[in-house]
Amino acid sequence: EPPGWAPGPAQAAALLEEAADLLVLHRDFAAALERCEAGCDSLGPGPEPGAGPESFAEVKCSLCVVGIQALAEMNRWREVLSWVLQYYHVPEHLPPKVLELCMLLYSKVEEPQVMLEVGSSWLRAQANQSLPEFGSLLELYLVQVLLPLGRFEGAEELVRGCAVFHGQQQLEFLSTILESRSRWAQREQTRSAAEEQQDPATETVLGVLSQKLLTMFTLLRRALRSMSNHFYLLPYKKMLLATFLLYLVVVRLDPASPTSLPFIYKLVQLFRQAWAAVLSPVHRPPIRD
């Protein structure tokens, strides 16, 4: 048991060591997360009498770091922020290491908007601006959250509003924001130009295809009309053969296309009319001796 630690932090430290072993050595992520939760619960809301605040905060932060990694390994990254905040309650109280892991995680899964309000609240808190990690976290928040979302005005306002930055350091941050804004504008222009070029090309291809289909269907319709006028002159077997060949032409043209259905329907109707013409005594050709 580390000296000066109360039973609560000592128990949490033991659970932390066990959780780290389960995470790294045994790859049992669910069990590791369970140990982290038990360790955080054993710490309570704050340092107990006789426990140093530094040791208490260090153990709690380490438990949360292992818990975040366990959740990420189980692909439960959506639960990370809410899981952490149940132990720290407000974003301003998050340890720098925990905030860094959360921003990196949600940036990696391309969900930086999750950390938008959390990161802003943490960075605007006066107590956090005196921490040695503040500068690196501000840069990480700009690069991983604000700039990918196109929040350039908010980024400039945040940099100018931080009293810890002066002179050259502030200019460097503003220069990074300006470069990102320029790249964003160039991507938008390129995308718009590509869309404008694609639309006329698509319309041209569709127009040519429609014209070819219309010409082909017109020729087929004329053939159908011509055959319907002369069906009664054909012998019965030749009529069936011609009908079958025409059916193959229409269906093989595009059997899966809905546009071929009206022609097939007309063909069936034509076949019925021809059949009736053959059987009708009015249109039946005279039998020669």
Q: Can you give the pLDDT at residue 261?
A: 52
User: Hey, what amino acid is at 85?
Assistant: L
DSSP state string for the chain: --TT--HHHHHHHHHHHHHHHHHHTS--HHHHHHHHHHHHHHH-SSPPTTS-HHHHHHHHHHHHHHHHHHHHHTT-GGGHHHHHHHHH-SGGG--HHHHHHHHHHHHHTT-GGGGHHHHHHHHH-TTGGGSTTHHHHHHHHIIIIITTTT-HHHHHHHHHH-TT--THHHHHHHHHHHHHHHHHHHHHHHHHHHHHHHHHHHHHHHHHHHHHHHHHHHHHHHHHHHHHHHGGGS-HHHHHHHHHHHHHHHHHH-TT-GGGHHHHHHHHHHHHHHHHHHH-TTTSPPPP-
- pLDDT at site 169: 82
pLDDT along the chain (289 residues), means of 10: 56 94 96 96 66 77 97 96 96 96 96 96 92 93 94 90 78 89 86 68 58 64 60 50 51 47 54 55 48
Structural domains of the chain, ranges and CATH numbers in brackets: 7-193 (1.25.40)
pLDDT of residue 190: 82
pLDDT tens per residue across span 62-117: 999 999 999 999 999 999 999 999 999 999 999 999 999 999 999 999 999 999 99
pLDDT at 212: 62
- Assess contact for 287 and 281: CB atoms under 8 A: no
Cβ-based neighbour number of residue 159 at 10 Å: 21
Q: Residue 93 contacts by C-beta under 8 Å, 6 or more apart in sequence?
A: none
The pLDDT value given to residue 150: 92
pTM strictly above 0.85: no
